[in-house]
């Protein structure tokens, strides 16, 4: 069925701030964003075609010309190069008949590279549309491209068993979670969310903030800001409409822990957001999901729907009058800078992802100009376990300055790439030993906060 500009605009109440969603709807329908549709959309949104074009040209995955039948994005990272990237690229060029950056004469394939797609533990990897292909070899490429040529869709090849897109089996069939080392906090027992919810609403918002502050939890998105303090600042505002944002942009090359948390423990993340909402008095939460993780969309939507059905989201959550909170997912469109929380807010408002000058800080004027607490996926998941097991349980782990544990995304020249939960204060040598990196010449740490808090027990030299 052809969807018109009227339908697309109406679906979002002609709300200009939802432009990214509308652009995705257009691209899903036409395969790209045709210039001809822009004037009508602009009219409906009260803007100009030029404004819309200027916005979408910012994003890597929005296309302004008709694409080939299959658009292939090969992830170009250091890890991929360690694992056979040149051979895989050569096989892609040979099998598709395209040179990198171009398309074949029949317009069946186009071939481009893209920066890290959050799969460093199973590279080389590539995207074809929203479908993900990992651990690529020359043989695998030959098979995939031959099947595409014979008319199979990338979705059928990526999901041969035909699992429903909203199922965990579908996600696992496409991407391994690769949890190598569980710790005391994440991926453990199944949380009893309904009893946790009762505990949450038996506390006052101030007590919740105090608990999170007492735990010593610092944000896991990079800057390491105290989560309790951020929530306090957000709740201190006169303005009563407040927002909770979950930063799932995970664009830092080499990181993939948020991908694994969203796969294995999405409800821990949602409950952390719910806790934040209760603490600061927010009614709306948004998860900003990087476009490369679009294969998780249906699964996450299904998990959200189950939470609504169980009364963990929606009106009067837990039967508590006035506690209304729901979460929507905002798909990004390919821009590393949108991991910066202010750029993310611009993007969520349907604009180019240009970082804002601070002050004002998001806790005072954030998403839609309202007080906003933006936190990382791992931060929210940690909050859920703190609410479950207590502030002192968390505080007793780690170091004096950095409480708790954290998830490391480890990849490269090691026997067991994947996710490792470690306690702050661990030595780099211990991490290398656990990952089976016996003769490392160099180690690259990609999170600013970790860089300051790792202690290496011996120096690594090339
Ligand atoms: C260029 C840039 C990229 C960033 N990328 C991310 C990201 O992918 N995920 C994330 O959670 N934070 C990222 N941040 C940090 C966020 O701006 C913000 O500090 C964080 O989401 C706050 O959450 P936290 O308090 O839980 O750490 C980035 C910051 C900058 C400057």
pLDDT digits (tens, 9 = 90+) for 441-452: 899 887 644 444
Contact (CB, 8 A) for 143 and 105: no
User: Per 3-state DSSP, what percentage of the chain is helix, strand, and coil (rounded to 5)?
Assistant: 45, 15, 40
What pLDDT is recorded for position 115?
95
Q: What ranges do the domains of the chain cover? A: 5-56, 70-158, 179-395, 405-453
Residue 458 has pLDDT above 70, yes or no: no
What pLDDT is recorded for position 2?
76
Contact (CB, 8 A) for 337 and 353: yes
Sequence-distant (6+) residues with CB within 8 A of 342 are 355, 356, 358, 362, 366
Mean pLDDT calculated for residue range 109-133: 97
Residue 455 has pLDDT above 60, yes or no: no
Mean pLDDT calculated for residue range 341-369: 98
Give the residue, by CA position, lying nearest to ligand 1 atom 28. 340
Question: Counting atoms of ligand 1 from 1, which one is nearest the CA of 343?
Answer: 17
The DSSP 8-state label assigned to residue 361 in this structure reads P
Regarding the beta carbon of 77 and ligand 1, being less than 6 Å apart is answered: no
Sequence-distant (6+) residues with CB within 8 A of 245 are 285, 286, 287, 288, 341, 344, 345, 348, 366, 367, 372, 373, 374, 375
Specify the CATH number for 70-158; select among 3.10.20.30, 3.40.30.10, 3.40.50.2020, 3.30.750.24. 3.40.30.10
What pLDDT is recorded for position 326?
98
DSSP class per residue in 230-279? HHHHHHT-S----EEEEEE---STT--HHHHHHHH-HHHHHHHHHHHHHH
Considering the chain, what is the average pLDDT of its residues? 95
Regarding the beta carbon of 225 and ligand 1, being less than 6 Å apart is answered: yes
Contact (CB, 8 A) for 63 and 32: yes
Mean pLDDT calculated for residue range 335-357: 98
Extract the runs of DSSP E, i.e. beta strands, from 314-369. 326-331
CATH 3.30.565.10 fits 179-395, yes or no: no
Q: How confident is the model at residue 3 (pLDDT cuts 50, 70, 90)?
A: confident
Residue 460 has pLDDT above 50, yes or no: no
Regarding the beta carbon of 343 and ligand 1, being less than 6 Å apart is answered: no
Mean pLDDT calculated for residue range 393-410: 96
Regarding the beta carbon of 248 and ligand 1, being less than 6 Å apart is answered: no
Mean pLDDT calculated for residue range 154-173: 98
Least confident of 3-7, 73-77, 351-355, 416-420: 3-7
Residue that has been written with the tokens 């423990």 in this structure? 265
| pTM recorded for the entire structure | 0.96
Mean pLDDT calculated for residue range 289-301: 98
Mean pLDDT calculated for residue range 211-231: 97
- 376 CA → ligand 1 middle, Å: 7
Handedness of CA 9, 294, 299, 316 (dihedral sign): negative
Ligand 1 binding pocket mutation candidate from 117, 213, 216, 221 (most atoms within 8 A of CB)? 221
Least confident of 177-186, 189-198, 232-241, 284-293: 189-198
Residues 181, 160: Cα–Cα separation, whole Å: 30
Mean pLDDT calculated for residue range 396-403: 94
Q: Which value, in Å, is the radius of gyration of the alpha carbons in the chain?
A: 22
Count of residues making up the chain: 462
Contact (CB, 8 A) for 233 and 281: no
Q: pLDDT tens for residues 52-91?
A: 999 999 999 999 999 999 999 999 999 999 999 999 999 9
Residue 461 has pLDDT above 60, yes or no: no
Mean pLDDT calculated for residue range 394-398: 97
Question: Counting atoms of ligand 1 from 1, which one is nearest the CA of 251?
Answer: 8
Sequence-distant (6+) residues with CB within 8 A of 452 are 224
Residue 1 has pLDDT above 70, yes or no: no
Regarding the beta carbon of 341 and ligand 1, being less than 6 Å apart is answered: yes
Question: Counting atoms of ligand 1 from 1, which one is nearest the CA of 377?
Answer: 11
Regarding the beta carbon of 421 and ligand 1, being less than 6 Å apart is answered: no
């Amino acid at each position: 069925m052809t969807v018109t500009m009227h339908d697309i605009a109406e679906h979002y109440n002609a709300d200009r701030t939802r432009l990214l969603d509308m652009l995705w709807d257009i691209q899903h329908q036409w395969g790209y964003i045709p210039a001809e549709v822009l004037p009508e959309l602009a009219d409906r949104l009260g803007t100009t075609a030029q404004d819309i074009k200027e916005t979408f040209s910012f994003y890597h995955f929005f296309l302004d010309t008709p694409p080939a039948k299959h658009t292939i994005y090969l992830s170009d990272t250091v890890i991929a190069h360690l694992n056979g990237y040149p051979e895989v690229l050569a096989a892609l060029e040979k099998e598709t008949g395209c040179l990198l950056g171009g398309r074949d004469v029949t317009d069946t394939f186009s071939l481009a590279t893209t920066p890290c797609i959050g799969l460093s533990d199973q590279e080389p990897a590539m995207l074809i549309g929203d479908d993900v292909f990992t651990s690529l070899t020359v043989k695998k490429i030959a098979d995939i491209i031959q099947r595409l040529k014979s008319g199979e869709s990338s979705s059928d090849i990526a999901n041969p068993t035909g699992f429903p897109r909203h199922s965990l089996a579908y996600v696992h069939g496409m991407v391994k979670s690769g949890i190598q080392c569980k710790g005391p906090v994440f991926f453990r027992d199944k949380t009893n969310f309904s009893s946790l919810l009762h505990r949450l609403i038996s506390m006052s918002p101030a007590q919740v903030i105090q608990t999170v502050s007492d735990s010593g939890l610092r944000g896991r998105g990079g800057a390491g800001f105290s989560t309790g303090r951020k929530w306090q600042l957000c709740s201190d505002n006169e303005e009563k409409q407040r927002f909770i944002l979950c930063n799932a942009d995970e664009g830092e090359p080499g990181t993939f822990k948020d991908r694994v948390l969203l796969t294995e423990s999405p409800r821990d993340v949602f409950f952390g957001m719910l806790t934040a909402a209760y603490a600061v008095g927010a009614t709306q939460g948004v998860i900003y999901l990087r476009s490369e993780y679009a294969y998780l969309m249906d699964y996450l939507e299904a998990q959200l729907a189950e939470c609504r059905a169980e009364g963990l989201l929606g009106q009067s959550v837990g039967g508590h009058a006035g506690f209304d909170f729901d979460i929507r997912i905002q798909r990004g469109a390919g821009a590393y800078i949108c991991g910066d929380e202010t750029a993310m807010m611009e993007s969520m408002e349907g604009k180019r992802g240009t970082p804002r000058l601070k002050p004002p800080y998001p806790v005072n004027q954030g998403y839609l100009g309202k007080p906003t607490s933006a936190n990382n996926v791992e931060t929210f998941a940690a909050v859920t376990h703190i609410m479950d097991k207590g502030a002192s349980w968390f505080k007793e782990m780690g170091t004096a300055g950095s409480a708790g544990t954290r998830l490391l995304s480890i990849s490269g020249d090691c026997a067991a790439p994947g996710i490792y939960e470690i306690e702050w204060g661990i030595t780099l040598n211990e991490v290398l030993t656990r990952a089976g990196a016996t003769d490392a010449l160099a180690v690259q740490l990609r999170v600013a906060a970790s860089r300051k808090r790792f202690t290496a027990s011996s120096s690594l030299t090339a």
